[in-house]
Amino acid sequence: MSKTHEVMFYTDGRHTSVYLYEPPMGVKQYVEPIDELLDLGIDTVSYAVGDCSVLLYDSKVGEHWGHNVDLTDHDIWWRAAQNAKAMIESGTDPLMLVCEHAQRRGFNFLPHLLLNMLHTPHDRVTNCRVADFTTGHPEWRVGEEPDYPQAQYDNPERLSFAVDQVRADRLAVVAELVGDYPTDGIELNMSDYAPFIGRAEVAEHTETLTEWMRAIRQVCDEAANAQGRAKRLVIRIGATLAGNKAMGMDVETWIKEGIVDAVIGMEVVGGFANDTTGLQDIVEAAAGTPVRVLAGIESANHPELSRPVVRAAAANAYAAGAQGVLFHTYYPAPKRYPYDDEATGRLRFMGYPDLLAGFDKKYRLGLPYNANTAASYGLAEQLPAQLACDAPAHECRLEVGDDVAGRAAAGEVWRCELRVLLQHLTYADRIRLIWNGEEIPEEAWRKADWTYQLRPRPDYAVDAYRLHVDLKQLQRLPLVGVNILSAEVLEKDAQLIHPVTLADIDLIVEYLPHRNALREDEEYFA
């Protein structure tokens, strides 16, 4: 690593590659997703090699993507199969090609294995992503688990890793990826399509999964000795030790025994721009060990995931003790791919917390993209929250990794604004806001009417007012660490039946590079 904080980038080997081009792809097209990442401060590329049992390289132990298809109903996935097949038949293994190219460009390279991704059962018409291994053995599937409430969010068709044959199949693919290719290890995706055993199997098979992880560690070590290069075992999990343990994944033991080299904690509740509680638990478990903890930052095509939000998430992750960040599914709005200056700009300096501290940020607590994710781990999202006149105030946590007050004392804070979006608030209703234990007087906020506006805004901002509070002017700047916002309804128009709902909290922090400096967006004649 070139620095103490690792920046990892996940490219799924599909959306920016074999889906994008008509067959046959050339070498230049295959390596383009790697070259797009040059000079952005990225240390490690995580590269998806297909689905769990259908693979996009010349595997000798797994099935090739689309190998068993008579007829297909999916143009794009058929294209992917044809591209991989054409490259392999030309005498070039796509994975070897991309791996060696990435390393020549100066990246560490980790194949990314989706351990339990499934698709529709096989018949004469399929989508090219169906494996005989998974469809030929329905008895290996977990099935429905109506006695376990959290299982309602699980895929009952997924395979159970309590089955010996399933673990052996996946182990063989891992051994191939680290042993037959000059990779720098492997990343196992254990957050998507979890849990890997049934809820009813946890008590009996938690140790089974740990033994399987020990076997993976062994094949990584054997490959490292054979090739004379380190083979890191990196796992991607939901950022909650207790939630993973309840699913049968004893991550803390994997850390303490040195089975894994790095743990990537993916956002489970909200995002790291507002809550790093679970990430902190992983950091604490790894303290005193060589295991590196990274924060997985969601970066998909959501308009809310702006550059300031991403930077706030990274700042909070570093404040929580993370030693790096992973950018997952990087298709930032609005352009997505190929990347433009806005998309690449948000990646720069992400490995340098001291530089990151000086950038503008938006600490954000909003509606979840998928509330089922938190529920499956036994957790609950903070928002949305319904407010009522006869109910106590609703409290929300908002973490802030910046020392805003310290920067303000140095004259370097340009703006610090709290924004609170309330759905179904009317012009006649009265609200109380309490920030870190002190009430914010009504005359201190601006009430912005978004109830009916013909201008761009998220759908949830319809029928809503947004309250704007200048915390700098009020001298109520956020604390380093946890900040508490409480909201309650004092008066409510009884004719409108919808409850007032707290849906969105933003904390905008904008800086000056030094006292009395000009900001880049200031124009003399504006």
DSSP string of 72-85?
A: ES-HHHHHHHHHHH
- pLDDT score at 2: 44
**Is 366 a domain residue?**
no
State the CB neighbour count (10 A cutoff) for residue 520. 7
The pair of three-digit structure tokens given for residue 155, joined into one six-digit string: 């895929």
- pLDDT score at 10: 96
195 and 325 share one domain = yes
**Is 346 a domain residue?**
no
335 and 387 share one domain = no
Sites in the chain below the pLDDT cut of 70: 1-2, 120
217 and 85 share one domain = yes
- pLDDT score at 260: 98
420 and 326 share one domain = no
CATH number reported for the structural domain that contains residue 431 in this entry: 2.60.120
Burial string for 369-404 (b: 16+ CB within 10 Å, else e) reads: eeeebbbbbebebbbbbebeeeeeebebbbbbbbbb
Percent of the chain scoring above 90 in pLDDT? 81
428 and 291 share one domain = no
pTM, two decimals, is 0.95
Report the C-alpha gap between 206 and 209 in whole angstroms: 5
Bond into 456 cis (ω within 30): no
Report the C-alpha gap between 213 and 239 in whole angstroms: 19
Strand partners, 47: 11, 111
Domain limits for position 501: 383-511
332 and 466 share one domain = no
- pLDDT score at 440: 97
**Is 351 a domain residue?**
no
**How many domains, the chain?**
2
Handedness of CA 89, 189, 296, 372 (dihedral sign): positive
Handedness of CA 499, 502, 504, 506 (dihedral sign): positive
**Is 163 a domain residue?**
yes
Q: Residues 9, 191, 377, 387: what is their CA dihedral angle, to the nearest 10 degrees?
A: 40
276 and 221 share one domain = yes
Report the C-alpha gap between 251 and 231 in whole angstroms: 19
Strand partners, 35: none
- pLDDT score at 459: 85
**Is 20 a domain residue?**
yes
- DSSP reduced 3-state for 474: helix
- pLDDT score at 126: 81
Whether residue 314 contacts residue 295, with contact meaning beta carbons closer than 8 Å, is answered with yes
CATH number reported for the structural domain that contains residue 134 in this entry: 3.20.20.80
- pLDDT score at 221: 98
- pLDDT score at 411: 95
**Is 363 a domain residue?**
no
